[in-house]
Each structure stands twice: as structure tokens, then as C-alpha cells.
Amino acid sequence: MKIKLKLFGQSRDFSKQDYLEFNINNHMSIAEFRNLILEFIDKNFKNNENYKKIVKSAAFCSEKNTLITNNYKITKEQTIGIIPPIGGG
């Protein structure tokens, strides 16, 4: 199934669009999804360590605008937001 990953902050450098799309298996966990994004970085940005650091330290949020944990299972097509390290004000 298709998952749209909405990009924010530093992760906007991953694409010229404001999102990435992934095809994933039903019931994939956020921890596994994170690894899939890391594979995308390896493939498209020649193992860019700064980008990988962003992914490793990012939180994620569901389409209901709730922060979701590594154990959260993705069970339907939806938009998930990646929340890199923050710093407003």
C-alpha cells in the first residue's frame, strides 16, 4: 500500500516536493518504516550521513496529528509526517 511521507524542516531537502511516497507492506511498524527511509537515503543521496542522522532522530506523526511510536503499525494508506529535531521561537 502507498504511504505519503510529508516532509518538514531539515527533511525537506530529501525531495523537491514536500513529500515522498513509499510502497509498504500492511502492518509495517514505524521502526521498519524508518529503516525504509534510511534505505531511500542510501540509494538517492550516496549514504549522506547528515540526512541519515535526521531520519534516525526524527519522530513521526499520524494523519490524525498524533505523535506515533516505533511500535505503531501502519494498517492503511495514509499520510505520515516526519518530525525532525525542532527549534522554533
Partner 1 sequence: MLHAKVIDSQVEKIIIKNAEEFISSSKFGASIFFIGTVRDINENKKVTGITYDSHDALVIKSFEEIYDEADKKLNIKDKAVFIEHVKGYVGLGEISIIIAVGCQHRDQAYALSRYLIEEIKKRSPIWKKEHYLNEQSKWLEGISILNEKN
Q: Is 69 in the site for partner 1 (CB under 8 A)?
A: yes
User: How far apart are alpha carbons 16 and 13 in whole angstroms?
Assistant: 7
- Contact status, residue 33 vs residue 20, Cβ threshold 8 Å: no
Q: Is 83 in the site for partner 1 (CB under 8 A)?
A: yes
Query: Contact with partner 1 (CB under 8 A): which of 10, 35, 48, 79?
Result: 10
- The cell numbers describing 20, all together, are 515522498
User: How far apart are alpha carbons 25 and 88 in whole angstroms?
Assistant: 35
Closer by beta carbon to partner 1, 44 or else 70 = 70
Stretch that binds partner 1, among 3-11, 19-27, 38-46 (CB under 8 A): 3-11
